[in-house]
């Protein structure tokens, strides 16, 4: 396989233009310089406590991750939080849980249809008692699927306000270093099979483990040329019977990207979490362009021009009488909206100077305009009905070097974060996450600075698109 990858890489070099070869040479020089000048072969480990000045000078300014051992050991949550605590204290509380057949939420799933399809699939979200969620964790043979509390809407403060006193609304030394309060505080709890696929965030991330451990695979921003992206149609999981999950394409997407009569006549296919086979898509296609358009107008009009759209957006969306498929697409498109226009906003997610009530429909575009991914209006007949998501198409746990030989140039860095530890994950760093069973973690997202670092990364993005 390695020989084949080299042959394929050699062939690609012969098909490159002179300019493309020069860009590729520059990418390699960038990676070499980064490794020699500032990157480490492992995430540095320091002991707590760390002062705000030291933290900013040594790690934030150079955009380097660091593991701070025992940084939150004084939290009451460290000694209190476990399955029994949540069962006793919050057992009758209704919680929103992401459920998937394989543990991969917001990730790429390959179908086994003819021809095969790939989708960016969001989880099946369901509301249940905390006690039932805990039963699913402790008796997964009786609860088909992988259950994970993972709402990324500052769910610690919004959904679990009774837990805030055990951890705090922020990390004081980080807040002082960044000069601002966190944009969001999230709680994560779930099955060991739950995996976060590789991605990057426009936030400074303070990741705190309360119970169990998390395993991260990190890539520095300078690895961007070696990390492949593709565009995938958006879909969502839906459990149609116990343990049997269907994949429902969203928006104006046809299964397998094929409109042939044979496709339309195919029966419904399903994914069983007990089966080793890959997921396949349903022939039931949710064509919801008008509904999605109307739902965005409803949301935008009701919240008002001066509202912070990120404040309670998912909670607000859940109350609307909108099809679940439209809700899934709305959430993904909203994330893109925030990422694309965040630099223009005065408050995270709020209406920016160009995305106001009158013209936001024309300016909503896909974020991460990478590898030739254009704005939503160019990938669909309507900017709001774009059901295409640009996403990383390689799994760092089992990289496909035959398809993506350039990934061999990347610099993966692995780190385990244990109970009481804090990982500082700098903005724009790519990361993939696994966890121990029933792991509990809290993370704080602080707004990144759109400074020279961001400008250089955007410049790198533009070169990647041209190479």
Angle (CA) 176 179 180, round 5°:
105
From residue 217, how far is each of 33, 413, 429 by CA, in Å?
21, 6, 10
Angle between helices 83-90 and 130-138 (to 10 degrees): 160
What domains are there in the chain, each with its CATH number?
Answer: 45-250+253-257+393-466 (2.60.120.10), 288-386 (no CATH)
DSSP 22-46: HHHHHHHHHHHHHHHHT--SS--EE
Taking the CA atoms of residue 74, residue 185, residue 347 and residue 367 in that order, the dihedral angle to the nearest 10 degrees is 130
From the CB of residue 465, how many other CB atoms can be counted at a distance below 10 Å? 14
- Residue holding tokens 């925030």? 338
Are 448 and 230 in contact, with CB atoms under 8 Å apart? no
Q: How many angstroms separate the first and last alpha carbons of the chain?
A: 24
pLDDT for res 4: 45
270 contacts: CB under 8 Å, gap ≥ 6: 240, 244, 245, 246, 280, 282
Q: What are 191's two structure tokens?
A: 């099955």
pLDDT for res 311: 45
Are 196 and 443 in contact, with CB atoms under 8 Å apart? no
Q: What are phi and psi of 15, to 5 degrees?
A: -90, -5
454 contacts: CB under 8 Å, gap ≥ 6: 343, 428, 448
373 contacts: CB under 8 Å, gap ≥ 6: 229, 231, 366, 379, 388, 390
Helix (H) or strand (E) holding 98: strand 94-100
Per-residue pLDDT of the chain (467 residues; tens, 9 = 90+): 444 444 444 545 556 788 889 999 999 999 999 999 999 999 999 998 899 999 999 999 999 999 999 999 999 999 999 999 999 999 999 999 999 999 999 999 976 565 668 999 999 999 999 999 999 999 988 999 999 999 888 999 999 999 999 999 999 999 999 999 999 999 999 999 999 999 999 999 999 999 999 999 999 999 999 999 999 999 999 998 888 899 988 865 544 443 323 333 333 344 555 443 333 333 333 334 444 455 555 555 554 444 444 445 555 555 555 555 555 555 655 555 555 444 443 333 333 333 433 333 333 333 333 333 333 223 323 333 348 899 999 999 999 999 999 999 999 999 999 999 999 999 999 999 999 999 999 999 999 999 999 999 999 999 998 87
What is the Cα–Cα distance from 464 to 467, expressed in whole angstroms?
5
pLDDT for res 119: 92
3-state DSSP assignment of residue 175: helix
Closest listed residue to residue 122, CA positions, set 324, 395, 270? 324
pLDDT for res 250: 83
């Amino acid at each position: 396989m390695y020989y084949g990858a080299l042959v394929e890489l050699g062939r690609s070099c012969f098909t490159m233009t002179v300019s493309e070869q020069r860009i590729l040479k520059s990418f390699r020089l960038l990676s070499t310089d980064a490794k020699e000048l500032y990157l480490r072969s492992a995430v540095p480990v320091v002991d707590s406590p760390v002062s705000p000045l030291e933290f900013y000078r040594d790690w934030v300014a150079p955009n380097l991750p660091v593991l701070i051992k025992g940084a939150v050991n004084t939290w009451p949550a460290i000694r209190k939080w476990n399955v029994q605590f949540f069962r006793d204290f919050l057992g009758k509380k209704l919680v929103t849980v992401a459920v998937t057949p394989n543990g991969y939420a917001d990730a790429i799933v390959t179908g086994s249809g003819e021809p095969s399809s790939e989708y960016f699939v969001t989880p099946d979200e369901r509301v249940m008692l905390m006690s039932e969620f805990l039963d699913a964790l402790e008796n997964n043979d009786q609860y088909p699927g992988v259950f994970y509390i993972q709402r990324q809407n500052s769910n610690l403060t919004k959904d679990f306000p009774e837990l805030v006193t055990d951890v705090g609304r922020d990390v004081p030394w980080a807040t002082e270093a960044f000069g601002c309060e966190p944009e969001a505080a999230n709680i994560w709890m779930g099955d060991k099979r739950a995996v976060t696929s590789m991605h990057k965030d426009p936030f400074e991330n303070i990741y705190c483990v309360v119970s169990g451990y998390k395993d991260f695979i990190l890539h520095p921003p300078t690895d961007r040329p070696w990390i492949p992206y593709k565009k995938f149609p958006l879909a969502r999981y839906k459990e149609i019977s116990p343990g049997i999950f269907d994949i429902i394409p969203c928006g104006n997407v046809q299964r397998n990207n094929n409109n042939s009569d044979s496709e339309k006549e195919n029966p419904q296919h399903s994914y069983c979490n007990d089966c080793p086979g890959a997921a396949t898509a349903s022939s039931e296609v949710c064509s919801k362009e008008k509904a999605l358009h109307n739902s965005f107008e409803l949301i935008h009009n009701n919240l008002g021009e001066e509202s912070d759209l990120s404040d309670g957006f998912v909670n607000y969306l859940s109350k609307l009488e909108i099809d679940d498929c439209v809700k899934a697409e709305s959430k993904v498109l909203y994330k893109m909206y925030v990422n694309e226009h965040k630099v223009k906003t005065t408050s995270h997610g709020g209406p920016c100077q160009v995305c106001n009530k009158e013209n936001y429909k024309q300016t909503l575009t896909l974020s991460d305009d990478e590898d030739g991914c254009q704005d939503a209006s160019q990938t669909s007949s309507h900017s709001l009905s774009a059901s295409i998501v640009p996403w990383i198409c390689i799994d760092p746990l089992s990289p496909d070097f035959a398809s993506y030989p350039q990934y061999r140039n990347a610099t993966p860095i692995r780190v385990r974060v244990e109970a009481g530890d804090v990982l500082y994950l700098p903005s724009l760093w790519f990361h993939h996450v696994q966890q121990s069973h029933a792991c509990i973690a809290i993370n704080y997202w602080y707004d990144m600075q759109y400074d020279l670092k961001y400008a250089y990364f955007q410049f790198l993005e533009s070169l990647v698109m041209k190479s």
